[in-house]
Structure 1
Amino acid sequence: MASLTGAARIVVKIGSALLVDRATGGLRRDWLDTLAADVARLKGQGAEVVIVSSGSIALGRGALGLGQGTLPLEQSQAAAAVGQIRLARAYEEALAPHGLTAAQVLVTLEDSADRRRYLNSRATLGTLLALGAVPIVNENDTVATDEIRYGDNDRLAAQVAVTVGADRLVLLSDVDGLYTANPLADPEARRFDVIEEITPEIEAMAGDAGSGLSKGGMKTKLMAARTAMAAGCALAITAGARDHPLRALEEGAPATWFLPNLDPASARKRWIAAMKPRGELRVDAGAADALARGKSLLPAGVVAASGAFGRGDPVAILDRQGRKLGQGLSRYTADEARAIAGHRSSEIEALLGYPGRAALIHRDDMAL
């Protein structure tokens, strides 16, 4: 049975209906303070935490007096522009008393669909976590239109969990898990405690959104669970309206846990290994030895680069004799790789005319 205890990296999704009072349009400040205390508690146990939070449009529409009805795109984007400021400030004020730094990260669907943007997002979020910050991720509703939207934060949270290599994803919801039927309508409905495979029968049990502020329903949560499980991340659906919802989950509050059969690192390496390489990098004996010891591939160890690959594309890693050592996602284009091959990372800016990343392929983006 999964739990938050012992988790290394946790993503928490918070919907508008939990964060914003539907009647007043104002922030549920007291509830947010208890959530921040939970985050601090998890951080104190050694976990890294990312929050995926809705709420910018809900907060902004209240400030602009736009009411509760469906908004046209222009008004939604205007509400998001106003609400994003309030949302970021709310998290900053809630986390600061615990000595935690909040960081705002706004994304669109293109940021995960495009491999170069995906790697940039992964690097940024990874650096924020390494520096001890708590990233607050939200869809960039000020610029996102239907064709570049996730559309709901359940699936966005799952994609963030994949991006950062999380081992736990918690969807704080208005229900405490997945039931065999709607528990409000059927007193015989039974909650699933653990699900190890999402079958067609389980999919048929999912319902639609029931809140005026929420866009997600159980169907989108199952889609998120499928994505998370494939990446080796366990996902929990649990009730979020109570104070200290994460502490309650850790202490055994009702929930449905979706359990993967791989850990995040293994799942990611399997995904990278299955890609068709777009080029090749040949490395010297020193680099091959460093890779075997779990190091990243630096430009200094590359003796040749071939193919036509872009940033984020998969490339094969070969030794001098042409034996394949593995493959990974390149942080440079083929032309850039050829220009910096054999040189120290400190020379990259002089060679390319702009600063670059120290590693040509980071160890997290490599399968040997």
Structure 2
Amino acid sequence: MSASSLVQVIQEAQCIVIKVGSNVLVRGTGLDLPFLYTLAEDIHELRQAGKKVVIVTSGSIATAMVKLATPARPKALPLKQAYAAVGQLGLMWEYERAFRVYNIPVAQVLLTKGDLENRKRYLNSHNTFMALFDLGVIPIVNENDTVATDEIRFGDNDSLSAMVAGVVNADVNIILSDIDGLYTANPQLEPGATHIALVSSIDEQVEKMAGNSLSSVGTGGMITKMQAAKICMNAGIHMIIGCGRGNHALRRLMKGKTRGTLFEPSIDAVSAKKRWILQSLTSKGKLVIDDGARQALTRKDASLLPIGVTGVQGRFERGDCVDIVGADGVAVAKGLALYSSDEIVRIKGKKSTEIEQVLGYTNHDDLVHRDNMVLYNA
């Protein structure tokens, strides 16, 4: 696939996650400020085009190494976590200054993989990101290294960026690295190595290429980027590895002036989520609906509203999977509940506008959103 296809993916994306590795963000004497400030300008252009952007950044440990005049990366885990705590403050301050030029507010979001593997915390994270988008804020995500060790041990937030892309329903995850994509071998050791422009599936041969073409700097390398690509592709999200070296690296990639590797999913994001719901999740309870709700779900592709629910069976929490059944007991659909069983007992049969009056708060107008629901007759 040509570079224009990679450019087209970025142009058509409505929500973009951009992962910035420490190998492009930090240079020997500290943060590469020209890179950071031109990155802010490039992201400003994306936002002017109406796109939502999330940044996943590495670099807190490397920033602390410069601040504390440490020549070598610390090895002991508690020391690494301490360095991460020291470096995170300076890292976020420079992001704040870079985006202030364009009057763009930023927010620090510290996550662990455990936050995104727990369904309830996953939904809480999703709601926070959506609220930040509504406020016009750019979320800047880093792994909470003072309590989590995954990034420190396995490196560079590649998998975290892929997981965040799923949380925010991104169209593409762009990883800015010190290499312009996947090669058949390490191009620094084998000048004849061939650049791979498009990957449609990750098989044993592609994984072997990744093992032989590690990026030269950083803790992750190409292997962790393949892990991130698998997560994205299985979720129906495109992923791009592009070179982050130099000023306006993102702009050059967006305009096709530098090449990268595009990882193309074979399934769209909504279909991927529905397949996951159908095949992987065990239902924790049931919602009994009336005939009007059944018709709305099956004929109008609607979400399930509280007014159509007549009964609740089982106990479940927000984010758990539930079966949706008719009054005759026949299964209609399966989906992710946006309220707990206790909450739904109180608001079933009510209008959406009455949720806040009954509960004292409202998370959503619907109980199960159509994008998180699989109809059995479909």
Q: What is the TM-score when the length of structure 2 is the normalising length?
A: 0.88
Once the two structures are TM-superposed, the CA of residue 146 in structure 1 deviates from its matched residue by 5.1
Higher mean C-alpha deviation, range 319-328 or range 27-36: 319-328
1:36 matched to 2:43:
no
For 1:235, what is the secondary structure of its paired residue? strand
Aligned to 1:18: 24
Q: Partner of 1:206: helix, strand, or coil?
A: helix
> Aligned equivalents of 2:35 and 2:180: distance in 1?
17
**C-alpha distance in structure 2 between counterparts of 1:44 and 1:350, whole Å:** 38
Q: For residues 62-114 of structure 1, what are the alpha-carbon distances to aligned partners after superposition, in whole Å with 9 as ceiling and x for unaligned? A: 22344423242222222222222222222222122223221211100111111
Q: Tell me which of 307, 320, 327 is aligned to 2:314.
A: 307
Q: Give the conservation status (yes or no) of the 8 Å contact 1:92–1:101.
A: yes
Report the Cα offset of residue 319 of structure 1. Answer: 3.5
Q: Alpha-carbon deviation of 1:171? A: 0.9
* Distance in 2, Cα, partners of 1:55 & 1:82: 11
Aligned to 2:338: 331
- For 2:12 and 2:215, how far apart are their aligned partners in 1? 33
Equivalent pairs: percent with the same residue?
46
Query: In structure 1, what residue type is equivalent to 2:137?
Result: A
Pair 1:134-2:138 in alignment: yes
> Is 1:243 aligned with 2:250?
no
Q: Tell me the residue number matched to 2:367.
A: 360
The answer to whether the Cα contact below 8 Å between 1:109 and 1:148 also exists between their aligned partners in 2 is no
Between the aligned partners of 2:41 and 2:236, the Cα distance in structure 1 is 27
1:219: which partner in 2?
A: 223
Question: 2:272 is matched with which residue?
Answer: 267
- Give per-residue Cα distances to partners, 1:208-255, cap 9 Å, x unaligned: 75555x211111111111111111111111110121112111221211
SS at match of 1:5: helix
Q: Which amino acid aligns with 2:235?
A: A
Code of the residue aligned with 1:341 in structure 2: it is K
* 1:9 aligned partner: 15
Say which SS state the counterpart of residue 309 (structure 1) adopts: coil
Q: 1:201 to 1:110 in 2, by over 3 A?
A: same
Q: Which runs of 5+ in 1 are unaligned?
A: none
Cα 1:302–1:163, aligned 2, differ >3 Å: closer, same or farther? same
Query: How far apart, CA to CA, are the structure 2 residues paired with 1:255 and 1:210?
Result: 14
After superposing the two structures, state which structure 1 stretch, 10-19 or 331-340, moved more. 331-340
Letter in 2 for 1:125: F
Q: Does structure 1 retain, via aligned residues, the 8 Å contact 2:80–2:152? A: no
Contact kept in structure 2, 1:110 and 1:148, CA below 8 Å: no
Amino acid at match of 2:88: Q
Is the aligned partner of 1:280 residue 2:286? yes
The residue number in structure 2 matching 1:125 is: 129
CA contact 1:139–1:150 (8 Å) conserved in 2? no
Give the ranges of 4+ consecutive aligned residues of structure 1 lying more than 6 Å apart after TM superposition: 147-150
Does the aligned pair in 2 maintain the 1:2–1:234 contact within 8 Å?
Answer: no
- CA deviations on 1:34-56 (whole Å, 9 max, x unpaired) are 11111111112222111110112
Alignment partners' CA distance in 1, 2:107 and 2:154: 21
Q: Counterpart in 2 of 1:156?
A: 160
Distance 1:127 1:319 in 2: 34
Does 2:31 correspond to 1:27?
yes
Aligned to 2:102: 98
Residues 1:304 and 1:178: Cα distance change in structure 2 (over 3 Å): same
SS in structure 1 opposite 2:31?
coil
CA–CA distance in 2 between the matches of 1:182 and 1:68? 25
How far apart are 1:345 and its partner, in Å? 5.1
Q: What one-letter code is carried by the residue in structure 1 that aligns with 2:11?
A: T
- My pick for the range that moved more, 328-337 or 49-58, is 328-337
Per-residue CA deviations over 1:289-325 (Å, capped at 9, x if unaligned) read 5555455434333211112322211111233444433
Structure 2 distance, partners of 1:185, 1:148, is 27
In the alignment, the residues of structure 2 paired with residue 44 and residue 288 of structure 1 have an alpha-carbon distance, to the nearest angstrom, of 41
Helix, strand or coil: the match of 1:256? strand
Cα 1:86–1:287 shift into 2, 3 Å: farther
Higher mean alpha-carbon deviation, 267-276 vs 251-260, is at 267-276
Aligned residues: 364
- 1:150–1:156: 8 Å Cα contact kept in structure 2? no
Distance 1:210 1:251 in 2: 23
- Structure 2 equivalent of residue 318 of structure 1: 325
Residue identity in the other structure for 1:329: L
In structure 2, stretches of 5+ residues that fail to align are none
CA RMSD of aligned residues (A): 2.5
Does structure 1 residue 193 correspond to structure 2 residue 197? yes
Match of 2:188 among 184, 193, 209: 184
